[in-house]
């Protein structure tokens, strides 16, 4: 599109081009930067990795590093590829067998990242090592050589080369890490610095600072001994520039904090503040990450003293505590024995290796003291040189993350990590393990060829095909999952590939951008294993697609694998797995953290049983509206303005155009007049622009909104609450202090200044978006990076401003809902909001009948850096921040927050998906509950916790004690200790049916043709339950509370007792008077006594309308079948959806009955029943009910 101004000079163009290049780079790594930070990503581009051995684990490591922006990688491995390598190396095909591994891999690795320099070297030597940042040994190497190269790397000057050694065999994996003696750790956990508000600062030595938690921030204490910075403090001049010497000997502008045992909560102690002026008000404390020395021991030192698990050694096995020490000494012994013999060890050498291990311990060659279990040793050595693909994937993620840690972020493994998954091994050794010259030989050597055939014949459903999905597809292909003639993997994902996907969704290349994820990824997986049977779909999985993913589909599956990135979809699939009694492989990642949750029918709890995950705390509405105090508050507010300006306003304009009178009436009766005034002023500006759509008129609207937001609303607020406003208790008249105190910042209104970049860029972004809305410029097309690019020049904005008129200030109101202190302010000017709104509505009436252009809503897209969406939100947020004297945010922070971007990295994804494969192997073996593992991993801080899966939660009858509030009780209700006496505690017994049932259990109704009356009798006769009430959930409406948290409120329809149905024939004539009509109704034997008042009410309505009520045909009757009742509920649910009673995003709770075999009433929606005992009990917990439909 074109604008109305002139361009800048050549230097400006060059800077703009450079900036756009940086933007593209940062956009590509946006999810990674959310976890690492852009600085670490940039450091990655300068790293060079030397990889010795192109084993399966090596390829996994390299894949992860190259995706994450590694600058260069050199491969050393002249060995020819073997057919067995195809089971762990996803880059190989059968045509590659016999060719040198390293040479084969270079072009294929290069495809992952064209900016990474990928090459080979003929052999490992000192000259090659010196050219790299890190050396990774990923193949068998004599122990003496390992020791030699480790010592060489750690003593190199001026800077050591990081050294990693990784090996895997069978169900064991071992990693050694050494970054040298002078490594500096800057950020131990990678978490965002903690922010707290200052409430007070003492003056004196070891000064106490009291803090409070900002709105929307998680609770918690600052880490003991950390460093903090002060900002925006009134008083204590100089406290923000205080310097201390860091542990590395550098001066840092920060305070080191401490605490005392009797300190109050939410407080810290800092150094001596005696020399500072007194504290006045305000201020913020921000945690500062400061580098600390993190020296490593050498390989030789750690072989001797590896530390203790969960202390100085990374712990990985909480179930078999100490197994890490057995693994360590057995590995040391095996490597020593191989060095002595010059030959590999294996299962036949168990006795010799155990003897060597005992000798190492007795001779003090190692400080480890462990009881070596012969059975453990046999399992350790049986497949010592046989890699399993899931272990390659898991260790590939772990080791690649260690390379990232060379940059100083995240805590490195302090020496050794020893990991095992003994629980996945077959209960009995398989007999069909002989090699057959197959790509699956390594897998079969551990589990048997018959196990491989089971994998090949699986019918599985993978939901999602992003980062997790790509890894799963690769793992499935390499392990033969769904790769037999009877196997089938159904993959679905409605998304298409974006540029930012390429750094972690490794099956996609730049030429795939814009293609369907499921189809592109499936095609790549079939290249890895042509035998793979895949059906790729482009569909969401949810209530709206149950006509496609129907009963027949779910029942045809052997299991489901989730590869999702949101809780709502996860819970839906979990519910389906319970409904159809199918196993679910659930997993997820959040930056460097990940989880694995196997869900097995009748053996484990469900994913939902694990509890509702927190997807982020809400920021109170009053904070967003009037009292922001953090940059994130401004960003969230700006995101809402985007929705209001470019989405909601279009809907409002169309609604006004269709029915001006109704629209004006609804706005005039709104309870939030402040917001109505704002929206009507905006609509008036837009209607003016719509009468003559042009860039200039769009610019005027943008200019109007600038003044509305950053001048007028601030003037309204400061008029209502002046800087010296005080809070007066309305009852006691006590002065509670200044209104503008604590987290409340007094704002200043803004005047537009084209010399300020935030100002003119807001104008530019808003103008572009309003112009697109009005049709004054073409809509932006995907991939067009030049759209409205002339708007990005200051000269263009300056020329436009010359044509614009500064709007007059129109006083509005202030919405203080949610702020308990606002009502106590007696000073300030309160605008007459009602009169102001009525005046604006009169102006609006003048536009009735005006034709509108074809208006286009904006479809928010966070990953297009050239559509002005994030640009608008950035400028809007920073203008808001300037109003309130809050630190500005850069484009990429705004993108992360406003775009709700979840931190995602290739390393965690690879590690998690490898672990999930182990759970799949257990499923096929029919393992018991104690064989499955729920895992939580944290690659940032080396946490690898695993627990035996929990059995399904059972529901039992019990007694609930209800303790009254103390203030409601008489004085004699308390004993001498001040506790409430037992006789004042209410006890309420309740029942569970069936007793000790789980979510997997169900009550099966014999037939769907059973009537409602028959259903009631069935519950009584078969289950000794009395049906009392049944309200059927049709869907849910959305409610947002004052804490800005979203709630689902069920919308129901009564089934039992059947709602009163009026028989119009029993109503008196409408010609009767009211007294006569009431007498006739009371005297009628045909009208049940309990319904007589209902008949009176209906007659009165009919009398008023002059028309008797007609039957809707939707009355519930006792003789109706359950099938017919469910069909009626489906009709009512559709009606509720259409009339807006239920939230469209969540859809109907019942749909597509015609294509179903049965309907399940979930356990939380079952009818209200009571036991039929002598003393009936409420049934609080009831199993789900299945009603046949065929």
Listed in sequence order, the residues at least 6 apart from 941 whose beta carbon sits closer than 8 Å to its beta carbon are: 188, 189, 410, 411
> Rounded to whole angstroms, how far apart are CA atoms 523 and 507?
9
Query: Which residues are 946's β-sheet partners?
Result: 935
Active-site residue (options: 482, 622, 634, 876): 622
Listed in sequence order, the residues at least 6 apart from 136 whose beta carbon sits closer than 8 Å to its beta carbon are: 49, 50, 51, 52, 58, 61, 164, 165, 166, 399, 403
Burial code (b: 16+ CB inside 10 Å, e: under 16) for 637-660 equals bbbbbbebbbeebbebbeebbeeb
Burial code (b: 16+ CB inside 10 Å, e: under 16) for 890-917 equals ebbbbbbbbbebbbbbbbbbbbbbbbbb
8 A C-beta contact, residue 831 and residue 812: yes
Q: Given phi > 0 = left and psi -120 to 50 = alpha, else beta, which region is 698? A: alpha
Angle at 185 between CA 900 and CA 261, to 5 degrees: 85
Q: In the β-sheet with 534-537, what is the strand arrangement from edge to edge?
A: 534-537, 488-492, 459-463, 559-562, 584-590, 593-599, 933-938, 943-948
φ/ψ of 736, rounded to 5, equals -95, 0
Written in H, E and C, the secondary structure of 747-773 is: CCCCCCCCCCHHHHHHHHHHHHHHHHH
8 A C-beta contact, residue 467 and residue 460: no
8 A C-beta contact, residue 61 and residue 136: yes
Burial code (b: 16+ CB inside 10 Å, e: under 16) for 1119-1156 equals ebbbbbbbbbbbebbbebbeeeebbeebbbbbbbbeeb
Q: Is 465 tagged catalytic?
A: no
Pairing of strands 208-212, 279-281: unpaired
Per DSSP, the residues of 780-818 read: PPTT-TTTTGGGGSHHHHHHHHTT--PPPP-------TT
8 A C-beta contact, residue 547 and residue 1152: yes
> Rounded to whole angstroms, how far apart are CA atoms 520 and 885?
48
> Rounded to whole angstroms, how far apart are CA atoms 530 and 528?
6
- The reply to whether omega before 681 is within 30° of 0 (cis) is no
Nearest in space to 685 (alpha carbons), one of 669, 703, 660: 703
Residue 436 CB neighbours (<10 A): 10
C-alpha distances (whole Å) from 813 to each of 625, 675, 819, 882 are 12, 8, 15, 21
8 A C-beta contact, residue 432 and residue 531: no
Neighbour-count burial of 486, counting CB atoms closer than 10 A to its CB (0-12 exposed, 13-18 middle, 19+ buried): exposed
Helix (H) or strand (E) holding 417: strand 416-420
> Rounded to whole angstroms, how far apart are CA atoms 508 and 502?
6
Helix (H) or strand (E) holding 492: strand 488-492
Pairing of strands 584-590, 559-562: parallel
End-to-end CA distance of the chain: 59
Q: Given phi > 0 = left and psi -120 to 50 = alpha, else beta, which region is 370? A: beta
Nearest in space to 689 (alpha carbons), one of 678, 675, 703, 679: 703
φ/ψ of 363, rounded to 5, equals -85, 0
- The reply to whether omega before 158 is within 30° of 0 (cis) is yes
Q: Which of the residues are catalytic? A: 622
């Amino acid at each position: 599109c074109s604008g109305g101004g002139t361009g800048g000079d050549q230097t400006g163009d060059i800077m703009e081009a450079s900036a756009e290049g940086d933007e593209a780079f940062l956009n590509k790594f946006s999810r990674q930067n959310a976890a690492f930070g852009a600085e670490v990503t940039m450091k990655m581009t300068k790293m060079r990795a030397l990889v010795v051995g192109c084993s399966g684990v090596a390829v996994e490591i390299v894949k992860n590093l190259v995706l994450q922006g590694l600058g260069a990688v050199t491969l050393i491995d002249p060995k020819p590829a073997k057919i067995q390598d195809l089971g762990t190396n996803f880059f190989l095909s059968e045509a590659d067998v016999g060719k040198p591994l390293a040479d084969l891999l270079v072009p294929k690795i290069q495809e992952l990242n064209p900016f990474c320099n990928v090459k080979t070297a003929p052999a490992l030597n000192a000259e090659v090592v010196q050219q790299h940042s890190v050396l990774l040994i990923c193949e068998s190497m004599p122990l003496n050589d390992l020791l030699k190269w480790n010592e060489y790397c750690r003593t190199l000057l001026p800077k050591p080369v990081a050294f990693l050694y990784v090996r895997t065999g069978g169900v064991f994996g071992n990693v050694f890490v050494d970054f040298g003696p002078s490594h500096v750790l800057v950020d131990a956990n990678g978490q965002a610095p903690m922010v707290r508000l200052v409430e007070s600062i003492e003056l004196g030595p070891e000064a106490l600072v009291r803090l409070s938690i900002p709105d929307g921030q998680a609770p918690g204490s600052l880490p003991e001994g950390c460093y903090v910075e002060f900002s925006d403090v009134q008083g204590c001049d100089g406290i923000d520039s205080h310097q201390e010497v860091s542990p590395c000997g550098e001066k840092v502008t920060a305070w080191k904090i401490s605490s005392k045992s009797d300190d109050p909560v939410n407080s810290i102690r800092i150094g001596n503040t005696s020399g500072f002026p007194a504290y006045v008000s305000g201020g913020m404390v921000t945690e500062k990450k400061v580098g600390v020395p993190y020296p490593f021991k050498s390989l030789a030192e750690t072989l001797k003293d590896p530390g203790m698990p969960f202390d100085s050694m990374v712990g990985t096995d909480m179930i078999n505590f100490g197994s890490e020490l057995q693994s360590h000494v057995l590995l040391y012994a095996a490597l020593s024995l191989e060095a002595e013999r010059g030959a590999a060890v294996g299962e036949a050498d168990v006795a010799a290796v155990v003897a060597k291990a005992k000798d190492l311990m007795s001779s003090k060659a190692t400080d480890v003291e462990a009881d070596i279990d012969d059975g453990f040793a046999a399992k350790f050595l049986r497949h010592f040189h046989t890699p399993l693909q899931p272990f390659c994937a898991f260790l590939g993620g772990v080791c690649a993350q260690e390379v990232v840690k060379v940059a100083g972020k995240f805590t490195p493994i302090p020496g050794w990590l020893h990991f095992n998954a003994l629980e996945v091994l077959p209960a009995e050794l398989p007999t069909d393990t002989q090699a057959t010259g197959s790509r699956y030989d390594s897998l079969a050597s551990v589990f048997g060829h018959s196990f491989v055939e089971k994998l090949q014949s699986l019918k599985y459903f993978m939901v999602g095909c992003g980062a997790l999905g790509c890894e799963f597809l690769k793992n499935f292909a390499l392990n033969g999952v769904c790769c037999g003639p009877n196997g089938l993997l159904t993959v679905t994902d409605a998304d298409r590939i974006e540029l930012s996907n390429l750094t972690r969704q490794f099956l996609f290349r730049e030429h795939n951008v814009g293609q369907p994820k499921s189809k592109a990824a499936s095609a790549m997986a079939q290249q890895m294993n042509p035998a793979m049977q895949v059906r790729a779909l482009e569909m969401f999985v949810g209530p709206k697609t149950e006509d496609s993913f129907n009963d027949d589909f779910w029942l045809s599956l052997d299991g489901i694998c989730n590869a999702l990135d949101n809780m709502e979809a996860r819970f839906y699939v979990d519910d389906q797995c319970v409904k159809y009694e199918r196993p679910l492989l659930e997993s997820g990642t959040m930056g460097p953290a990940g989880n694995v949750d196997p869900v097995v029918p009748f053996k484990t709890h469900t994913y939902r049983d694990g509890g509702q995950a927190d997807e982020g705390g809400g920021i109170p509405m009053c904070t967003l509206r009037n009292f922001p105090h953090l940059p994130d508050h401004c960003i969230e507010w700006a995101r809402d303005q985007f929705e209001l300006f470019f989405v909601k306003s279009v809907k409002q304009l169309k609604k006004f155009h269709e029915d001006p009178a109704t629209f004006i009436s609804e706005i005039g009766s709104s309870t939030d007049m402040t917001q109505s005034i704002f929206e009507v002023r905006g609509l008036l500006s837009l209607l003016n622009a719509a009468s003559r759509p042009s860039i200039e008129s769009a610019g005027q609207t943008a200019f109007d909104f600038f003044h509305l937001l950053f001048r007028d609303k601030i003037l309204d607020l400061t008029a209502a609450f002046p800087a010296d406003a005080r809070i007066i208790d309305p009852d006691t008249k006590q002065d509670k202090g200044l209104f503008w105190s604590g987290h409340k910042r007094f704002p200043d209104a803004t005047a537009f200044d084209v010399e300020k970049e935030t100002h003119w860029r807001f104008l530019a972004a808003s103008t572009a978006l309003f112009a697109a809305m009005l049709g004054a410029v073409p809509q932006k097309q995907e991939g067009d990076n030049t759209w409205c690019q002339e708007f990005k020049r200051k000269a263009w904005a300056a020329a436009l401003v010359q044509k614009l008129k500064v709007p007059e200030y129109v006083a509005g109101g202030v919405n203080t809902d949610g702020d308990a202190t606002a009502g106590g302010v007696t000073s300030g000017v309160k605008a007459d909001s009602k009169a102001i709104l009525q005046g604006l509505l009169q102006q609006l009436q003048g536009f009735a009948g005006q034709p509108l252009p074809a208006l286009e809503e904006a479809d928010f897209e966070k990953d297009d850096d050239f559509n002005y969406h994030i640009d608008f939100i950035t400028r809007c947020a920073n203008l808001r921040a300037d109003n309130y004297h809050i630190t500005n945010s850069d484009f990429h922070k705004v993108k992360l927050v406003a775009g709700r971007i979840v931190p995602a990295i290739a390393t965690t994804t690879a590690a998690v998906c490898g672990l999930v494969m182990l759970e799949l192997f257990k499923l096929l073996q029919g393992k018991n509950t104690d064989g499955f593992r729920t895992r939580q991993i944290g690659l940032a801080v080396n946490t690898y916790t695993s627990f035996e899966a929990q059995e399904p939660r059972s529901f039992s009858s019990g007694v609930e004690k209800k303790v009254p509030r103390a203030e409601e009780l008489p004085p004699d209700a308390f004993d001498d200790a001040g506790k409430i006496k037992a006789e004042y505690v209410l006890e309420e017994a309740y029942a569970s049916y069936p007793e000790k049932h789980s979510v997997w259990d169900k009550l099966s109704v014999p037939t769907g043709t059973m009537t409602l009356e028959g259903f009631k009798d069935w519950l009584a006769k078969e289950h000794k339950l009395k049906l009392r009430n049944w309200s059927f959930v049709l869907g849910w409406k959305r409610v947002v509370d004052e804490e800005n948290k979203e709630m689902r409120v069920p919308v129901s329809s009564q089934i039992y007792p059947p709602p009163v149905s009026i028989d119009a024939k029993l109503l008196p004539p409408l010609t009767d008077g009211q007294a006569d009509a009431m007498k006739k109704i009371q005297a009628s034997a045909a009208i049940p006594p309990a319904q007589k008042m209902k008949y009176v009410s209906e007659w009165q309505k009919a009398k008023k309308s002059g028309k008797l009520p007609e039957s809707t045909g939707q009355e519930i009757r006792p003789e109706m079948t359950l099938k017919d009742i469910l069909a009626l509920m489906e009709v009512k649910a559709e009606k509720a959806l259409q009339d807006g009673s239920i939230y469209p995003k969540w859809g109907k709770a019942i749909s597509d009955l015609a294509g179903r075999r049965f309907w399940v009433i979930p356990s939380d929606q079952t009818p209200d029943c009571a036991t039929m005992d002598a003393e009936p009990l409420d049934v609080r917990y009831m199993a789900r009910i299945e009603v046949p439909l065929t």
